[in-house]
């Protein structure tokens, strides 16, 4: 029998390090080229909206040149609107307001939808029936008309516009949350938590909701794009904050001159299109990265 010297004995390779769920999601997301392109565009738009006003200091509300000057025919590269205001300055400054409205409205949408859906899916019975009837009532209302009524009653301020968008857009989030809670509340680990005395609040917010979060994160991301489009629609109809410059307001202000000077509507419309497209690409990438079935295929 031959003895193997300890120094020459083969050592087993160390076990592979466990990859955190967050790193797995990022690795999956990074492989999606369209999602990365959308993330790059979105970060660029946000950076321009935050830093641009300090670099390009033209006041977007002041008349700086002849009205309705086409792009490239003056020192203002994108031309001017019907009042002679610089369109480039309006785009740079309006991005901050537009994105803020989208984020605030999306947060309100998710808060209302998750709360209603969680209560309905967790308790069931009469609570579920009551909350779903309320959800159906809001779902059958014409969203745009309802938002117009809210804005007209309380005034076209940024807060009121964001609230109006939020309270008419939460129904799909509530239904998705309810479906996830109905599925997860019957899982063994939820029953185990209940058996050791966990209260309803802990089960809802610390046990079920974290496991129902992946699809809700995707919905929250996509809600920002929907809110931006909603704000543009309200502004096109003249229901925008007169004290704030946004892309939607730029479209609304220049819509009477769309046939004679289309650039006043085209450039802010293109900005909205690129932003919503980028958000949609990021949302689709998150959906693919968070979905465990798709992640296992990679």
| Residue 68 is assigned to a structural domain of this protein | no
| Residue 27 is assigned to a structural domain of this protein | no
| Residue 216 is assigned to a structural domain of this protein | yes
| 61-120 pLDDT per residue, tens | 999 999 999 998 888 899 999 999 999 999 999 999 999 999 999 999 999 999 999 999
| Residue 63 is assigned to a structural domain of this protein | no
Q: What pLDDT was estimated at residue 294?
A: 53
Q: What pLDDT was estimated at residue 292?
A: 57
| Residue 265 is assigned to a structural domain of this protein | yes
CATH of the domain at 230: 1.10.3720.10
Instruction: Give the confidence band of 17 by pLDDT, cuts at 50, 70, 90.
Output: low
Which distant-in-sequence residues (6+ apart) come within 8 Å of 145 by Cβ?
Answer: none
| 236-269 pLDDT per residue, tens | 888 888 888 899 889 988 988 988 889 999 999 9
Number of domains in the chain: 1
| Residue 22 is assigned to a structural domain of this protein | no
| 202-218 pLDDT per residue, tens | 999 999 998 888 889 88
DSSP 192-208: HHHHTT--HHHIIIIII
Instruction: Give the confidence band of 186 by pLDDT, cuts at 50, 70, 90.
Output: confident
Q: Using the predicted structure, report yes or no on whether residue 181 has a pLDDT greater than 60.
A: yes
DSSP 44-83: HHHHHHHHHHHHS---TTSB-S-TTPPTTSSSSTT-B-TT
Distance from CA of residue 74 to its chain's centroid? 37
Read off the pTM.
0.86
Taking all residues of the chain, what is their mean pLDDT, rounded to a whole number?
87
**Residue with the larger pLDDT of the pair 238 and 223:** 223
| Residue 217 is assigned to a structural domain of this protein | yes
| Residue 158 is assigned to a structural domain of this protein | yes
Q: Using the predicted structure, report yes or no on whether residue 1 has a pLDDT greater than 50.
A: no
Asked if 275 and 225 touch (Cβ cutoff 8 Å), the reply is yes
Q: Which domain holds residue 137?
A: 87-297
Q: What pLDDT was estimated at residue 259?
A: 87
């Amino acid at each position: 029998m031959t003895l193997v010297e300890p120094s020459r004995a083969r050592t087993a390779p160390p076990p592979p390090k466990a990859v955190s769920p967050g790193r797995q999601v990022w690795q999956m997301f990074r492989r999606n080229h369209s999602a990365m392109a959308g993330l790059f565009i979105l970060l660029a738009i946000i950076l321009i909206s935050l830093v641009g006003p300090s670099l390009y200091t033209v006041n977007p509300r002041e008349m700086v040149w002849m009205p309705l000057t086409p792009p490239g025919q003056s020192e203002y590269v994108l031309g001017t609107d019907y009042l002679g205001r610089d369109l480039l300055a309006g785009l740079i400054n309006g991005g901050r307001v537009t994105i803020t409205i989208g984020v605030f409205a999306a947060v309100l949408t998710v808060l209302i939808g998750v709360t209603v859906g969680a209560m309905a899916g967790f308790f069931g019975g009469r609570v579920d029936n009551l909350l779903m009837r309320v959800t159906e009532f809001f779902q059958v209302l014409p969203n745009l008309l309802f938002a117009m009524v809210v804005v007209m009653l309380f005034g076209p301020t940024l807060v009121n516009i964001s609230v109006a968008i939020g309270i008419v857009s939460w129904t799909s989030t509530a239904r998705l949350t309810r479906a996830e809670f109905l599925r997860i509340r019957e899982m063994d680990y939820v029953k185990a938590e209940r058996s050791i005395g966990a209260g309803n609040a802990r089960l809802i917010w610390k046990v079920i909701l974290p496991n129902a979060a992946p699809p809700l994160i995707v919905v929250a991301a996509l809600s920002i794009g929907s809110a931006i489009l909603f704000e543009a629609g309200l502004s096109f109809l003249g229901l925008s904050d007169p004290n704030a410059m946004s892309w939607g307001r730029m479209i609304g202000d220049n819509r009477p001159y769309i046939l004679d000077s289309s650039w006043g509507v085209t450039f802010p419309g293109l900005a909205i299109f690129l932003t919503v497209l980028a958000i949609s690409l990021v949302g689709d990438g998150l959906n693919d990265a968070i979905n465990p079935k798709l992640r296992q295929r990679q």
